[in-house]
Structure 1
Amino acid sequence: MESSLISSLLFWYLLLLLVGFITPFLKFLKHQITSKCKQTTSLPPGPKPWPIIGNLPEMLANKPTSTWIHRIMSDLNTEIACIRLGNIHVIPITSPEIARELLTKQDSIFASRPTNWSSEHVSFGYLSTIVVPYGEQWKKMKRVMANELVSPRRLQWLQDKRVEEADNIVRYVYNQCNKNGGGLVDARIVARHYSGNIIRRLVFNARHFGKGTEDGGPGFEEVEHIDAIFIVLRYLFAFSVSDYVACLRGLDLDGHKKNLKKATKLIMKYHDPLIEDRVQQWKNGKRTCEEDLLDVLISLKDANDSPLLTLDEIKSQIMDMMIATVDNPSNAFEWGLAEMLNQPEMLEKATEELDSVVGKKRQVQESDIPKLKYVKACAREVFRLHPIDDINATHVSMEDTFVANNTYFIPKGSHIVLRRQGIGQNPRIWKDPLRFQPERHLEKDNNNIDGFKNLSLNEPSLKLITFSTGRRACPGINLGSTMTIMLFARMLHGFNWSVPPNETTIDLSEIEGGTIKAKPLVALATPRLPAEAYEIS
């Protein structure tokens, strides 16, 4: 076994050395010469790299890469490290202070994204927002997002659609309470179904691509669509050897390209006909008023009264919105409910708050959200302890700089990786960091009736990563927060939840090498409100 591993590593080493020698060597040599005078301080600590190829052999031998990075930082007892992959310095960070410095004080330097096959493919050639490198195209699409798609005015315009989907998910769970062995409900299906419904309604003004199901649940098409989105999320930000050796970019050495191509093709199977048909409707005058975000994107005009966006830009931006909307709310609710089932006093405390604010004769509405401080604290605690992924979207340094009071040198082109779980579970910042404790987010304020300060899911201090901060912060903070809190509130207010029969606790294991719950949460749900409260319009 050991000799096989050594042979495999030697093979990769020789291959990478052969195919990647000339260009990386020249770039490396140029960088060494130009930056030598600047290195009065050292790079962050990390494993000793091999010549030219850096630590790629170790990355290939230690899957998944995120676990390997975590182990390196733990062994070195550091909150910032440097791992050289090819000629690129990858800088993982678990220090909130350094993270704030990068994304506030030095935000203009770290506002770009890496270029790689996955990002280029999903963004239709860097046409959208999330993964697009810093430049005029990114600025254009960010303005579209912030001013036209997720502005407060636009969110208010789309409120009725969100309420309809909150109503629908309550109806769906209510129907599940009367079947599946007496109310056994798969919380993962519920959460992902709700998130997918909302973004489909906001973009396409339709809950389903097909007919759905009679009980309000997802049909085959919706399940396939959401599954494909999560596959894209899995591989879009994954570490791939081809990303660090330019001449290997055309190869699919780890299978990421095949899986990503298949998933994006499936998503566009559902998106393209709707988008292309709608564009044609606007061209031939059959459609003249805006009903959803697709209409907004199509009807935008430039200074010459011509369409502001091309067809590919519209498709790319819709892909962005789909993958950015479904992951965090669904993951947060599933983990939050799992943790609360193991600590029933938290469920009781949340429902007491909901009953106090809402009562038992109606459903929770978005106007109730400001008063739901404990429910928001539960959601924040999930973002801290159980983020959807340990690795946040990568930032790229656009020039040489220094961080941490000039302690560490960060070369131009470095990939900055904020580790969400590493920051959220940093024992220097959080007492008892592995314990789920929503109360840690509640601060006393005697000027408020309930005795606590107002609370939001955003965290600019970066003591936990929610929507990040700076130029590359998520512009959909209000939409994401509203979706997350409404899902928590509707489910906890509308239903009693308990551990399934013949079980005593919920297994809180994570998938191997990841942060998603290993086993989908299935719990027993029963209605807790009078029957008339479920008569939703």
Structure 2
Amino acid sequence: MGYAPAFIWPHLQSFLIYLIVMFCGFTITKILRYHLVVKPKLPPGPKPWPIVGNLPQMLANKPVFCWIHNLMQEMKTEIACIRLGNVHVIPVTCPSIACEFLRKHDVNFASRPLTMATDIMSSGYVTIAIVPFGEQWKKMRRIVVNELFSPLRHQWLQGKRNGEADNIMFYVYNKCKNVNNGGLVNVRDVAQHYCCNVTRKLIFNTRYFGKGREDGGPGLEEVEHVNTIFTLLKHVYAFSVSDYIPCLRILDLDGHKSKVKKGMRTMKKYHDPIIEKRMKQWNDGSKTVEEDLLDVLISLKDVNNNPTLTLKEIKALTIELMLGGADNPSNAVECALAEMINQPYILQQATEEVDKVVGKQRMVQESDITNLNYVKACVREAFRLHPVVPFNPPHVSTNDTMVGNYFIPKGSHVLLSRHGLGRNLKVWNNEPHKFKPERHIKNDGSMIVLSEPDLKFISFGTGRRGCPAIVLGSTMTVMLLARLVHAFSWSAPPNVSSVNLVKANNGVMLLEPLVLVAKPRLTPGFYYT
């Protein structure tokens, strides 16, 4: 037995040498691979701090969208990477790169971030526009596209849209005939209440939550409702610190959480009683005919004849629908009319087009929109030059992806810059900062549409997470501008040489609401409904 250790030792030595050689080889290979293999690089951006990233710079440079755009200009880049907390934020100002995100790699960027505001506004992510990609989004997308905004549904609801278009003309007529205020009309109020009235009528089949007003204007309830809508829109994606360091949400450092919760309480105060009463009517059989979108949502059934949507989903979706129909059309109309006042020949050309297509013996109708190419060009130019928000809602990457030769990590927030795309010098090299509707007129005279699939600017969201109500939004926007131009003559108030086009600090709307002198152009009877 004494010879066994002497026999094993040479084999053990060989085995140890083998392990050492393998370990050294593995280490050398790893080192060589690290230094020789080209690693994908992130888009250019400022050097981040540990843990917090570039949050200190974000907090020190308000408004945030200006800071981001200024950084990109300084770095001379059309795609950047800014780390906020542990989140890579990827702003984009190049149409071709934007198309690469939303066309070539659309499936990888079809989600949304989990934020404090979107969680509260969507009642725990049960809606469509601001919820992450998943089964709930797919379910709501099918319902919204097929049941709420299909071509047949759009036609079914035309009478309600016409009623609100008539009412807003009646309201503006009463405002401009009021000698006490010199015929002044607040165009922002008119545009916002028109858009909210249309959406409210389509969903709830009512213009007023209260008694309303004899002049066609909003009552106290509608004023509060509209103001709350725009407060919520202001906070939906507001670069809140707690969205990048979630453990800080409980502290509500910037006060966003309390404002969003208050806004939601107001929305529910007006929506919930209507929804609950309507639900009871359908359940007890006292209502059997669909008259509006709320009826459609309540009456949807699955294959087992059970309700497709819960009460919670219906309540949350009506709020999101109200938010979605308010800001984009109203802002485009206000800014287009402001530019027209500063360049009277544009207003004159638009007026001449509507007079030629419609005449002066009736109001503009939706059937006229096809032939109002110059008016639509004005709207497109307003979308391009005066976007309602600096960035589109974030697209979150669900996988590591290479875009524009850059590495986009999983979980990144991709922000398409409405400002940057609409004023990109490579695309809009002919006076990009000037309002020129003719740049959208095609030489072949073909019909103009408001959507822009090539992302040279953003009118409505595109791609997998695109806006499902483009037809409705386009119709509302063109109808309002065309009717205002056709039914009234507009001029700046006395002692005002030109309209101030300076934007508010948040980059959303004009700093000052557009207030103009309006005078009727048509026979008085056309303004009464």
TM-score when scaled to structure 2?
Answer: 0.92
Inter-CA distance 429–285: structure 2 relative to 1 (3 Å threshold):
same
2:272 — aligned with what? 272
1:18 — aligned with what? none
Alignment partner for residue 414 of structure 1, among 390, 412, 415? 412
What's the offset of the Cα at 1:534? 2.6
Match of 1:484, as an amino acid? T
Alignment partner for residue 459 of structure 2, among 461, 466, 488? 466
Q: How far apart are the structure 1 equivalents of 2:181 and 2:410?
A: 59
Match of 1:295, as an amino acid? D
Q: How far apart are the structure 2 equivalents of 1:440 and 1:138?
A: 37
Q: How far apart are the structure 2 equivalents of 1:66 and 1:276?
A: 40
C-alpha deviations, 1:6-53, integer Å up to 9, x for none? xxxxxxxxxxxxxxxxxxxxxxxxxxxxx9999723100100001122
Does 2:209 align with 1:216?
A: no
1:378-393 aligned at under 5 Å gives the runs 378-393=378-393
C-alpha deviations, 1:166-225, integer Å up to 9, x for none? 000000011111114331100011101101110110000000001111110000000000
Inter-CA distance 210–36: structure 2 relative to 1 (3 Å threshold):
farther
1:234 — aligned with what? 234
Q: How far apart are the structure 1 equivalents of 2:192 and 2:36?
A: 52
Does 2:509 align with 1:516?
A: yes
C-alpha deviations, 1:99-145, integer Å up to 9, x for none? 10110110000000001111110000000001100000000000010
Q: How far apart are the structure 2 equivalents of 1:532 and 1:58?
A: 59
Question: Aligned to 1:155, what secondary structure does the other structure show?
Answer: helix
Q: How far apart are the structure 2 equivalents of 1:38 and 1:385?
A: 44
TM-score when scaled to structure 1?
Answer: 0.90
Match of 2:253, as an amino acid? L
Question: Are the counterparts in 2 of residues 168 and 216 from structure 1 also a CA contact under 8 Å?
Answer: yes
State the number of aligned residues.
Answer: 494
C-alpha deviations, 1:215-260, integer Å up to 9, x for none? 1000000000000000000001100111111322322111111111
1:114 — aligned with what? 113
Q: Which has the larger radius of gyration?
A: 2
1:456 — aligned with what? 449
Alignment partner for residue 500 of structure 2, among 502, 507, 522? 507
Which range moved further: 514-523 or 474-483?
514-523
Match of 2:39, as an amino acid? T
Structure 2: give runs of 5+ residues left out of the alignment.
1-33
Q: How far apart are the structure 2 equivalents of 1:38 and 1:157?
A: 61
Q: How far apart are the structure 1 equivalents of 2:186 and 2:308?
A: 43
1:6 — aligned with what? none
2:29 — aligned with what? none
1:167 — aligned with what? 166
1:20 — aligned with what? none
Q: How far apart are the structure 2 equivalents of 1:250 and 1:98?
A: 37
1:270-419 aligned at under 5 Å gives the runs 270-404=270-404, 407-419=405-417
C-alpha deviations, 1:286-323, integer Å up to 9, x for none? 11110000000000001110000000100111111100
Percent identity of paired positions between Structure 1 and Structure 2: 58
Q: How far apart are the structure 2 equivalents of 1:183 and 1:362?
A: 23
Inter-CA distance 72–299: structure 2 relative to 1 (3 Å threshold):
same
Q: How far apart are the structure 2 equivalents of 1:221 and 1:526?
A: 29
C-alpha deviations, 1:356-400, integer Å up to 9, x for none? 100000000000000000000000000000011101100000000
The list of structure 1 runs, each at least 4 consecutive aligned residues, that deviate by more than 6 angstroms after superposition, is: 35-39
Question: Are the counterparts in 2 of residues 360 and 533 from structure 1 also a CA contact under 8 Å?
Answer: no
2:91 — aligned with what? 92
Q: How far apart are the structure 1 equivalents of 2:234 and 2:471?
A: 24
Q: How far apart are the structure 2 equivalents of 1:458 and 1:334?
A: 19
1:8 — aligned with what? none
C-alpha deviations, 1:56-76, integer Å up to 9, x for none? 111111122111111111111
Structure 1: give runs of 5+ residues left out of the alignment.
1-34, 446-451
Q: How far apart are the structure 1 equivalents of 2:504 and 2:362?
A: 38
What's the offset of the Cα at 1:533? 2.9
Q: How far apart are the structure 1 equivalents of 2:467 and 2:388?
A: 15
Question: Are the counterparts in 2 of residues 361 and 532 from structure 1 also a CA contact under 8 Å?
Answer: no
What RMSD, in angstroms, separates the aligned Cα atoms of the two structures?
1.4
Q: How far apart are the structure 2 equivalents of 1:435 and 1:137?
A: 43
Question: Aligned to 2:67, what secondary structure does the other structure show?
Answer: helix
Match of 1:241, as an amino acid? V
2:205 — aligned with what? 205
Inter-CA distance 427–171: structure 2 relative to 1 (3 Å threshold):
same
1:479 — aligned with what? 472
Inter-CA distance 38–432: structure 2 relative to 1 (3 Å threshold):
farther
1:12-27 aligned at under 5 Å gives the runs none
Q: How far apart are the structure 2 equivalents of 1:172 and 1:361?
A: 20
What's the offset of the Cα at 1:86? 1.0
Question: Aligned to 1:233, what secondary structure does the other structure show?
Answer: helix
Q: How far apart are the structure 2 equivalents of 1:308 and 1:59?
A: 43
Q: How far apart are the structure 2 equivalents of 1:37 and 1:165?
A: 67
1:436 — aligned with what? 435
1:17 — aligned with what? none
What's the offset of the Cα at 1:426? 1.1
Q: How far apart are the structure 2 equivalents of 1:476 and 1:390?
A: 21
What's the offset of the Cα at 1:513? 3.6
